[in-house]
Structure formats: C-alpha cells, structure tokens
Structure 1
Amino acid sequence: MSSNIPRFIRDAAVLCLLMFLAVFQQPCSLAPVDVDGLYPGERSDLLKLRDSSNSSSNLHRRWTGPPCIGDESRWVGVGCSNSHVVQLVLDGIQLRGSLPENFLQSVTFLTRLSLQNNSISGALPALSGLLHLEDVSLSQNGFSGSIPSEYVKLPKLTKLELQGNVLTGGVLPFNQQTLVFFNVSSNHLAGPIPDTQVLRYFPKSSFDHNPGLCGIPVGLPCPAPPPIITPPPPPSPSTVSPPQPIPTPKRERSHRVRNIVLIAASAALVPFFIMAFFLCYYKKAVRKNEETKEQHAGGSVDFTQTRTLHSHSGDDPERVVELEFFDKEAVVFDLDDLLRASAEILGKGNLGTTYKAVLELGSVVSVKRLMNMNGLSKKEFVQQMQLLGNLKHENLMEIISFYYSKEEKLVIYEFVPDGNLFDLLHGFRGGGRVPLDWAARISIIKDIAKGLNFLHQFLSSQRVPHANLKSSNVLIHRDGPNYRAKLIDFGFWPLLPNRKLSEVLSVGKTPEFLQLKKMTHKADIYCFGIVILEIVTGKIPGKISPANDETFDDLSDWVRMVVNNDWSTEILDTEISGDKDGQDEMLKLTEIALECTDEMAEKRPKIGEVLRRIEEIEQRNANVRMVREQIHLYTVLALRQCVAPSPMAIADPMRSNPIHQPTRVPTSSIRDIGPIGPKNAH
C-alpha cells in the first residue's frame, strides 16, 4: 500500500515529523509530567507519609492517583493551587508512627501544615526550604527531641503551635515579624527564653508547663551562671611551707563539728535569701506595672464607652497595652486569651490577613492583622477605631475590640460563619454544588446597599467611606433559608500612610483614580455597581474575553457591549437565567449597575437613590409573586371543591381553609401578571 504513495510525499511527512519533535521536545523536558500528576516529586513525598504511618482515614485507599488537578484536590486533607500541593491538613485522624525524614522537601509551595491531635512520635519535621510556609500546627502529639533550627528561617511563618508534645532542649530565637500565634506550652523545654523583639510579646501561657524555662515571658529570673574558678598556680619551691603537724583525733573531731554547724547555718539562711530576692523582684514588677497604667491613663484619647482589660505592659508610652472594647455587653477576653486561642487563616487581603480565633471558653472572633500601617501614630489609629467601633448596623461587621503598638495593629470583629460572597458565587461549581438562587442574590444586593447607605450617612466627612467594597469583603450569614450580608474592611482609607496605597484598594480601579488619581464619594458607588454586575452575570471582575473575542478590562465594559446590541438574557449567570419570574428584576438591576459604573463620577446616582430603586424593584416583584401564589391557591381549592362540591365552599372556597387567608394586595399589581393558561386559549 505504501508503495503507491509518491516518494516526495513520504519524505515531506518524515521531515514534518522531525521538525515537530525538534520544536516540542525541549519544552516537554522542562515540565515533566507522569501519569500520577504534574509534579511527581510532591506526590512522592506525600506517599512517604502515607506508607510510614497508620490512620483512621485509611490514607492507603484514599491517596491514589495524582493529588492535584489544577485547583482541585483529589486527596483527603490536601489543598491545591495550580496543580501544586499548598496545604496538608490531617488533624485528629489518629495518625501513628514517625514522620519520614525530609518528607516535604519537594512540596515547596506548601503554605499550611497541620497534623494536630494525632499520635505521631519521633522528631519534628525539618521543613527546610519551605519558604512559603505560614501555618505550622503540630500540637497534641508525641513529638520528641529539639525544635529544628530551620523553623527560625521560615520567612513567612505566621503561626507555630507545638504545645502538648515531649520536646526537649531550648526555645529558639524566633524573630520573624510575621509571627502572630506561638505556643510551645506543655513540653519539657528548659533554659532561658531568648529576649527577641517578637518572643517578648507572647503571653506566659505560650510557654506554660515547661518547668525548666526562665525569662521575662514566664516571670522567672534565670540563675546567674556560676563563676569561673581558676585553679591557683602551683607553689614555687622557695615558698613551700614547712610540714604541718599531724592533727590529733580530738582536733580533727572539733573541725568536723564546726564544719557541720557552718553548713547547717548556711542551709537555713538560703531560703531567706531566695525569699528576699523574689520580694524585691515582685515589688519592682508592681511598680513598673503601676507606672505603665499611669502612662496609659494620661493619654490624649478619652473613651467614654469603652472597657479596658490589662495584658502585658511595656516601656513605650505609644503602646496600647490593653484590648479596647466598645460594647459593655461584649464577651470579655484579654490579649492573653486571644494569643492562646487556636487560629485558622480565613484569607489575605490588601489590608492584611484575617484569622478565625477560637477562645478557650468557646467564643469565636475574627482577627484582622493590619499591614502597611507601621508609621501610624496611636492617636490617629485610636480615633479612627473609636469612630468605626461605634457604628452599629445589621449590615456592617461589628468591631468588638482593637490592639495598637508601633509594630502590631489588630482589629477584632464578630465572626460570621458562612463565608463570603465571592466564594458563594465563584466557588466549586461541580457536582453537589448548591447554587445561589435569585431570591438570595437580590436580598444580598439590598443588604449591601443598606450597609453602604449607612456608611455614607455616618461617615459623610470622609472622602471615601468604605473604599474597599468588593465581593470578598461581603460576608454572608445564613438565617434559615434567608441570606444576610455584612460589609467588612470599611473605613481604613484615612489610615493609609501613603495615598499611593489606594491603588491596592477597590477604589483604586475607578476611572477617576486611574486617570486623574482622584478620590470621591462616588467611588464607592462605582464599586457597588461592579458587585451588582458580578452577582447578576456570575463573572469575576477583571479581564473578560467572551468567546475568545475582544478582551475587556472591566466587567461593566463587557456588559455595556452586550446590552447595546440587545437587552437579552445572555449576560445572566446560567445558575439563575432559568428563573423566568426573576429575569425582569435581573435586567432592571443591571441597568442600575451600569448607571453606578458611569465613567463620569458626577453622573452616578447617590447610594440613597440606588437603595430606594432596589427596594421598589424587590417590592413590586414580591407583590407579583404573592398575587400569583394566591391565584394558584384559589385555583387549587376551587378544583378540590369541584370534586367534592359544597354550597358554602363554592360560595367562598377560602372559608374552608381559614389558615391560609390571603393578604389583600393592590389590584394595580395584577396588571403585571401574564394570562393564566395557554397563550392560544380563547
């Protein structure tokens, strides 16, 4: 058969094949792929853990194939990003055995390692080279040996929990400025705690139940090192003393008695010396504490409705050494309780990192660790926090407390358990996903508008009251079938030390800032319009390239292009486009969103007007739905009466069902209702 093919065609085919191999062979060698995943080194390291331990989760059965495909994890306890393993969380699965040596050396993108509440023994993992690691939680196991020196070299370490093991040796000189949560309590550590800038601020509870530890954090002075005793020089021949007479038994006995008396007296005096030393130390600490309280009481900010709880004092008058509470009914806890709480990273934003902190009494709070604000004075920070902390609204995250020092600024919020709007809209959309229906979405839009309207009323003196409105800063609380939205990250724009940092906030993407570096009240309106479009279209704001066609830098530009051609349902999220009753609302809200995202700031509506229009749309359609439900109810009851007729029931079918007496609605609402029955019926 091949003999019938002209030779020049065969030669051309061979040449093309060789060129193909020459072009594509090198790139393939740069990104090795095997049947078990893109990064076989990561898989191999994790299999070392699987094969060297036993657990109640049966990892041998559940860890097969590749651990990651894109951002999707295929293995229990493994988190993925771009096909890399970034989290390993195997808490409380009865892991037994010791960890293989260097079992994570190839998992270089790991950010979180949590193996808490297991029965792992042997040495702690070295973790060398894991430069992205932020969270190391290895508490409540049987780890022994010393803390590896590599831990002080982890540049992004935020949390280190090693409590409840049998570790020996000393505490290392941790000094990473990123370190917020630290606990080595209930081990067998000994020696002085290094006096680093970071360790000195952790409470005593972080080091408790290590009887051999001493230093400032535990309030125990470290014993002075014994004096170095040098042996006397050997006597020279010229100074050799004459031979002494041999002592008699009587003289030897008297010497022994005298020595015993001296030893007993010394032993009796030692406790008195120790007691005197601790009395002096205690008096000095009390005096220092009182001085610090006086310094704090003399501050320039007067809290009329705040309560303070004392924590550790310091010599810096700029340092707020207490948590400041705004609500007298708030759950009482202090800085020690907060630092002792178990913590979990909820997310990272352009203003800092947010943690979920579970206090020992079971209360849960959110803690935001602010960044880029180290140059801020205490007066500026406290005044703004006092202003924000006194804002109370059902659609704003409540600020419970805050903490200030030159190096650290924390804001403590109430905890909202059901995640944020961004994750609800754009999270995993595979099998088992419960989509966010239109009724929930319009309720969330109205809640955002109500919260933003409140901010614009009570922070009207500030140029941009919110300044960072986006879907990830809208937290969601589920109340039965209802969704409630709360805004977070509002009011921090005045605290930014450099106005250039506005670029990282949501208002930095408004046309007036991009073109003129200008900030206005209407910047928040623009951001709200983008959030509405995100809710309606289901698309992530940013570069959009529908059908591989023209690329749009802004979600509103793409929507304008579509609706200019035809106001169709093309723009709607596929998860809600099938809701025929809600399509009219969706398109009307899209129209409002496009007005909010007008390039000319002065043409955008005020938030009060936007809220009024949203409420009108929701109310009008609620009336329509209610009338339709009533007509449906009348129809069903009438049909039932036809089957078993009753003169009284036929006269008024609703009397037979007094529980479902309908609410009367204006007859004007009925004009929005389509005809009942088939369209062709006459």
Structure 2
Amino acid sequence: MVPSNFFSFLLVISLLASQKRATAKDDSSGFHGNERDALLALKATFNNSFLDSNWTGIMCYLNEKTYWYGIQCFNGRVTGIILENMKLTGEIKEDALVNLTELSNISLKNNLISGKLMKFANNPKLRNIDLSSNKFHGEIPQSLLYLNSLEALLLQDNNLTGPIPGFNQSSLKSFNVSRNNLSGKIPETKTLQSFGFTSYAGNENLCGPPTPILCNAKNYVSESNSENLSSKSNGSHFIEILVVVNVVVLVVILFLFIIYYKKYKKLKKEMKAKNLWPKDEEHDSTIADRAIEKKAIEKRTPEVERGKLVFVENNQPRFELDDLLKASAEGLGKGNFGNCYKAMLEIGQVVVVKRLIDLKPLSSEEFVRQVRAIANQKHPNLLPLLAYYYSKDEKLFLYRFAAHGNVYNRLHGGRGTRDRIPFRWSSRLAVARGVARALEHLHQNTRSQTTAPHGNLKSSNVLLDENEETLISDYGLTSLIALPIAAQRMVAYKTPEYQSHKLISKKSDVWSYGCLLLELLTGRIPAHSAPPGINGVDLCGVGPPRGERGVDGGDIRS
C-alpha cells in the first residue's frame, strides 16, 4: 500500500508541474506562444539579417518592455509592428496576423514586400494600418470593413486591383489608395466621399466622386470579364427581354405622338380661323432670340462649365487637372470648409489644394465673380490664389505652399518635447505687424460696412513661408460660405456684437485681431478658435490675473 500511495503522490506532483509549465507558456511576462510563432514566421518571410539577430528570446518582457526591434507591447501582448524603411522583401502570407489578436498598429511602409494583403478578421482592435510603398497585389480584403476602430488606412503606391470596398467607419480619418490599379466606381459612403480626389489619384479605372471622372460602361469592363458563363447566359436573356420591352414602349410612344399631332393640327386650324394663333414670323423671331441668348451665356462661362483649372495669375506656370491628379499628395488637415492637401507636381511646383464644401447655392457666373473679387486682393501679406476649379460636384482653390506652416502650430505645437521650435518675441511682433498690414489692405478695399472683409482671422489661418514672412489665408470666404455654416464656424460670428445683436461689420475683424494679439502675447489657446477636441481659455472675455505666466515662461505683463 505504501508504494502505491507514493507513486500516486508522484503522479499528482507531475501533473501539477506540467500544468504550471503549460500556464507559464502564456503568462504575463510576455511569452505567448502563438504570437511568438507568428512573429518568427514573419521574420522567416523577410529574411533580414538584422531581424534574425534581434528577434530572439522573449518579445514582450515584464508586460510592456520589448527588446525586439519594431515590436510594441502592452500587458505582455503584441500590440504593434512598426518596420519601416528597412528594404524588407519576401511574399507575406494572407494569414500572417491571425494569431496577433491584440494588434492595434501595423506599419510596413517603404519596403519591397509582395503578396496579397493580409486578412484582418482576427484583429478587431486595429486602429492604424500603413502598408504603403510596397509591392502588394490583389484586391483590398473585405475583412477591413469590420474593423470598427480603424482610424488610418494607407495603401498607396502598391499594385492593388479590383474595386474599393464600401468603407463607412466613422472613426476613419486618414485614407489613401492612390497610385494602384484599382477599378470601378468609388462607393458613395459618407466616409469615402469625405476624402479628396488625391486619396484616389493614379488609378486610371476609378470613376465617380470625389474624382472628376464620370462612370460609364468602359469603367466596368474588368467586372464583366470576370463573370462566368452562367451569368453571361442570364445576362443575354435579360438583354433580349429588355429589347422587346423597349420596342413595345417605342411603338406605344409613336402611336401617342401621332394622335397628339393630329389633335394639334386640328386645334391650330381652328385657332387660326378665329385669329387666336400667333403669326409665324413672331414665333420664329422668339426662337432666334432665345438661341442668341443661350450662345451668349455659353460664351460668358466656357472654362467653368467645362470643368478646367482656371488660373488667375498670368505669370504662374500652367498645368492641367490631369497633372494635379498624378501629383504626389499629402494631407495637411481638415479645415472648417474643406480638407487641404499638399501636391508636388512633376514640373517641381508645390501647391496647396483646398477642397471647398458647404457653399452657398451659387450659379457658375456668381461663383466666378466672387472668386475674381478674392483674387484681385493683392498684398505681400496675403496668400495669393493661384487657380480654381469649378464643377457641379467639386470646387477647388489652389494656393502657394507656405513651407513653415501656420502660427497656431508654432505657438502650441510640440509642447514639452524636444521638437518644439522656439517662437521668439521678435517673430511674434513680426507676425502681428504683417497681419495688421494685410487686414488694413482688406478693409481699405472693401466698401461694404456690413461684412467682415476677412471673417475668419485666427492663428491657424496665419501662415509663414520659407522666409518667415507672414501670409494670411482664407480671406473673403464669407461671400461663398452658406450663412448657417458660417455662423457656426467662422470667427467673426463669435464676436460680442453678433452674439447680442446679430451684427457683422469690419469691427468683427478688429476684434479677431485683438484676440490674435492676446494669443501671441500669452501663448494660450483662445476658446473661440480652438480646434475640435481642444479646450481653450476665454482670452477675449475676462483677462488672466495680474502676474500670471504664459506658456513660454514670461510674465504676460511684459
């Protein structure tokens, strides 16, 4: 009995030890076998000597710390893979990320990786995906549609084919599939339509808004070629039925037309007999007058109606809309009245493209007249309008590119980091002086006393060019933007006069300029012009206490 109990005891101890080892395989120290196997499979695919020597041991140590290059961890789980600009090669497998269920960020941009895009059904926490500038081919996987937390999807500069899935996640703020071989109509979802045409440029077979290319039968050739024989047979039967129906409809229409014509001739004869029918000469002259009027209207707005880029500066290098679509583009951010993009043309010129939304219901002639008024404002401290584009579905402004960004970012960007660029008092004074001169010019050249010549003066609309010269942008948009939208978003409508008496005047710009001066002086963000999600302070209402210090450490009284 004793030996039997002893061996039973040993057996229990052995089982407990094996259970402990099994538990230790996926503990909080970071050793999760499935995740490690997935990363080692990626390493074998890339065949990179640096990763071969670096990706050894435990990838996530003590919950968060990692010794593996490019691997991010949290609570002992792999949450990020960042391998950029490493010239990685190899054909990645579609199921490469299946076991990385906690993954939230992946960036493999600027490599030479090939294969089809990975399946993302097992990665519900993914927020940022950047696979740009590689050699991925095949279609964009439908599994991306189910990533409800997706914020950025960058797939530009690959060899992707097929249609664009119907992305409609409200969380998606950055999207780019330019310079691939995608085809078909861009889905009309709210999310995809919110991005500019530069997110789709370089795909010759894409059509529909936001691109200026209309969809027709040619755009769907690739889709029809992919149908099987059964679908072709069904399609041919449908066409035959459609032809028969069309013939019947045409016969009915022709029969009704004959009846109408006979009644028309009979009525005309009776009215002529009673001298109630107008003379033919008068009728003919009316038709001729209308034809002349129509031709005159067509001559007044030829370029606008054809949807071409119209340049307002004669001394600027000219290019076409196709050149703009082929240009390398970069998103600069979302403004109150549309997104802005930096476009680098093949001729070497860099321009900023502003996509206009929420405009008044203006005719083409009214739009051109307002744009010409904006373009005629010439001053060294005003950002000049280079060209504009007008069509029924798209309105664009093209501006000079200001290399040193805007004053808001100079004042408030990079706080508490080494990347912060000092903004000295002399530079702030130069900005205040430049804005004042530009504002004076706008006010002297605006006759109306019941409008704000600028209307949206704030630090994010004050730019700095390569010589640190001050340039004001977004002036004159009050003539284009619909009033309900302007009242919600423009700075001039935050003034005390408008809040109390619904009045707008030149003094509204003066109030905005005073708020800008306080922002330059204190380094604080004003509440009335703070970007979405940023809490500002009421600089233009109650002032700060005496002796309070600004963000740059100086006493604001000095």
Alignment TM class, shorter chain as reference = 0.5 to 0.7
Matches of 1:509 and 1:157, distance apart in 2: 28
Partner of 2:331, secondary structure, is strand
Counterpart code for 2:187: F
Matches of 1:349 and 1:85, distance apart in 2: 31
Trace 1:308-323 onto structure 2 (pairs within 5 A): 319=305, 321-323=307-309
1:64 Cα deviation (Å)?
Answer: 2.5
1:178 Cα deviation (Å)?
Answer: 3.1
Matches of 1:406 and 1:387, distance apart in 2: 21
Say if 2:360 and 2:480, in contact at 8 Å, map to a contact too.
Answer: no
Q: Does 1:415 align with 2:433?
A: no
Counterpart code for 2:157: Q
1:518 to 490, 500, 503: 503
Say if 1:174 and 1:199, in contact at 8 Å, map to a contact too.
Answer: no
Say if 2:527 and 2:538, in contact at 8 Å, map to a contact too.
Answer: yes
1:426 is aligned to 412
Matches of 1:86 and 1:412, distance apart in 2: 36
1:174 to 180, 183, 187: 187
1:93 Cα deviation (Å)?
Answer: 3.5
Q: Does 1:298 align with 2:277?
A: no
Matches of 2:155 and 2:45, distance apart in 1: 16
Task: Give the TM-score of the pair, scaled to structure 1.
Answer: 0.51
Query: In terms of Rg, which structure is larger?
Result: 1
Partner of 2:465, secondary structure, is strand
2:551 to 553, 568, 573: 573
2:471 is aligned to 486
Quickly say closer, same or farther: Cα 1:367–1:458, change in 2 above 3 A: same
Quickly say closer, same or farther: Cα 1:456–1:102, change in 2 above 3 A: same
Quickly say closer, same or farther: Cα 1:404–1:147, change in 2 above 3 A: closer
Partner of 1:391, secondary structure, is coil
1:555 to 516, 539, 545: 539
1:405 to 388, 391, 395: 391
Partner of 2:313, secondary structure, is coil
Counterpart code for 2:140: L
1:458 to 441, 445, 453: 445
Say if 1:343 and 1:357, in contact at 8 Å, map to a contact too.
Answer: yes
1:575-604 deviation line (CA, Å, top 9, x unaligned):
5x2xxxxx8xx747xxxxxxxxxxxxxxxx
1:46-87 deviation line (CA, Å, top 9, x unaligned):
9899779648997950332459xxxxx99687xxxxxx9999
Partner of 2:482, secondary structure, is coil
Partner of 2:145, secondary structure, is coil
Task: Give the TM-score of the pair, scaled to structure 2.
Answer: 0.62
1:402 Cα deviation (Å)?
Answer: 0.8
1:102 is aligned to 120
Say if 1:365 and 1:414, in contact at 8 Å, map to a contact too.
Answer: yes
Quickly say closer, same or farther: Cα 1:322–1:535, change in 2 above 3 A: same
1:492 Cα deviation (Å)?
Answer: 0.7
Trace 1:201-240 onto structure 2 (pairs within 5 A): 201-202=212-213
2:363 is aligned to 377
1:22-50 deviation line (CA, Å, top 9, x unaligned):
xxxxxxxxxxxx999xxxxxx99x98997
1:128 to 130, 135, 145: 145
Matches of 1:488 and 1:104, distance apart in 2: 46
Counterpart code for 1:440: S
Say if 1:324 and 1:402, in contact at 8 Å, map to a contact too.
Answer: yes
Quickly say closer, same or farther: Cα 1:387–1:229, change in 2 above 3 A: closer
Q: Does 1:472 align with 2:460?
A: yes
2:135 to 116, 119, 128: 119
Quickly say closer, same or farther: Cα 1:200–1:104, change in 2 above 3 A: same
Partner of 2:346, secondary structure, is coil
1:481-515 deviation line (CA, Å, top 9, x unaligned):
xx222111111112222346322111122111222
Partner of 1:475, secondary structure, is strand
1:452 Cα deviation (Å)?
Answer: 1.3
1:440 is aligned to 427
* Structure 2: gaps of 5 or more residues: 1-27, 56-67, 85-101, 225-231, 240-292, 530-534
Deviates most, 89-98 or 489-498 = 89-98
1:101 Cα deviation (Å)?
Answer: 1.0
Matches of 1:436 and 1:371, distance apart in 2: 33
2:209 is aligned to 198
Counterpart code for 1:202: I
1:394 Cα deviation (Å)?
Answer: 1.6
Quickly say closer, same or farther: Cα 1:464–1:374, change in 2 above 3 A: closer
Counterpart code for 1:523: S
Quickly say closer, same or farther: Cα 1:386–1:162, change in 2 above 3 A: closer
Quickly say closer, same or farther: Cα 1:200–1:397, change in 2 above 3 A: closer
1:163 to 179, 194, 199: 179
Partner of 1:440, secondary structure, is helix
Give aligned pairs, total. Answer: 415
1:152 Cα deviation (Å)?
Answer: 5.7
Matches of 2:180 and 2:512, distance apart in 1: 47
Say if 2:381 and 2:435, in contact at 8 Å, map to a contact too.
Answer: yes
Say if 1:97 and 1:120, in contact at 8 Å, map to a contact too.
Answer: yes
Say if 1:135 and 1:157, in contact at 8 Å, map to a contact too.
Answer: yes
Counterpart code for 1:331: P
2:482 is aligned to 497
Matches of 2:81 and 2:428, distance apart in 1: 31
Counterpart code for 1:437: R
Q: Cα RMSD (Å) of the superposition?
A: 4.7
Say if 1:300 and 1:379, in contact at 8 Å, map to a contact too.
Answer: no
Matches of 1:137 and 1:296, distance apart in 2: 47
1:474 Cα deviation (Å)?
Answer: 1.0
Matches of 1:506 and 1:352, distance apart in 2: 16
Sequence identity (%): 28
Partner of 1:345, secondary structure, is strand
Matches of 1:485 and 1:85, distance apart in 2: 44
Counterpart code for 2:69: R
1:527 is aligned to 512
1:295 Cα deviation (Å)?
Answer: 7.3
1:211-243 deviation line (CA, Å, top 9, x unaligned):
96699xxxxxxx9x996599xxxxxxxxxxxxx
1:141 is aligned to 158
Say if 2:337 and 2:356, in contact at 8 Å, map to a contact too.
Answer: yes
Matches of 1:418 and 1:57, distance apart in 2: 37
2:353 to 367, 371, 396: 367
Say if 1:296 and 1:320, in contact at 8 Å, map to a contact too.
Answer: no
Counterpart code for 2:188: N
Matches of 1:369 and 1:517, distance apart in 2: 29
Trace 1:648-663 onto structure 2 (pairs within 5 A): none
Matches of 2:404 and 2:446, distance apart in 1: 28
Q: Does 1:509 align with 2:487?
A: no
Say if 1:157 and 1:178, in contact at 8 Å, map to a contact too.
Answer: no
1:62 is aligned to 70
Say if 1:105 and 1:128, in contact at 8 Å, map to a contact too.
Answer: no
1:135 Cα deviation (Å)?
Answer: 6.9
Matches of 2:81 and 2:521, distance apart in 1: 31
Partner of 2:362, secondary structure, is coil
Quickly say closer, same or farther: Cα 1:446–1:295, change in 2 above 3 A: farther
Matches of 2:296 and 2:39, distance apart in 1: 58
1:202 Cα deviation (Å)?
Answer: 2.2
Matches of 1:130 and 1:74, distance apart in 2: 17
Counterpart code for 1:489: D
